[in-house]
Amino acid sequence: MPIPLRFDPGFDPNRTAYLTRMVERWGQLEGALLGNQPRYHYGYIGLQDHSMEPLLRPGSLVLVDPARQQVQNSGWTNEYDRPIYFVEVRDGYRCSWCLQTDHRLILQPHPLSPCPPEVLEWPGEAEVVGRVVGVVTRLAEF
């Protein structure tokens, strides 16, 4: 599994970022879970991003499947089954639940989050990078 060895100097740990674009050099780490599947990309949940907390804590790394960009508006039974998407917006990136209407993409934070929903024109103001299919997160404060 590739791991980042050197980040772009513009990387800000406080902001959510698309790591696949922010990493200048990748190294290899043998990973039994993912094997060697280059189809996945990586995202980072910024230290100031509380939109999906407590499901995705700030500082989490997410595994993004760019082949799964179609927003699923229904079909889940609980918050753990509901798809989470990594979305590019004009001022950076967001990671949240989504609802897609005719010409709008609604970014829905977790109900326990202090963040408000965002309504963006679609596709002009937002582009779904892919669906989050994995997460690495801390379980306790440092």
Whether pTM > 0.85 for this model: the answer is no
**How far apart are the C-alpha atoms of 58 and 137, rounded to whole Å?**
8
Distance CA 85, CA 71 (A): 8
CATH class of 2-136: mainly beta
Domain residue spans of the chain: 2-136
Which residues are CB-neighbours of 132 under 8 A, at least 6 positions away? 43, 56, 62, 63, 64, 65, 83, 84, 85, 86, 95
Q: What are 61-114's pLDDT values in tens digits?
A: 899 999 999 999 999 999 999 999 999 999 999 999 999 998 999 999 999 999
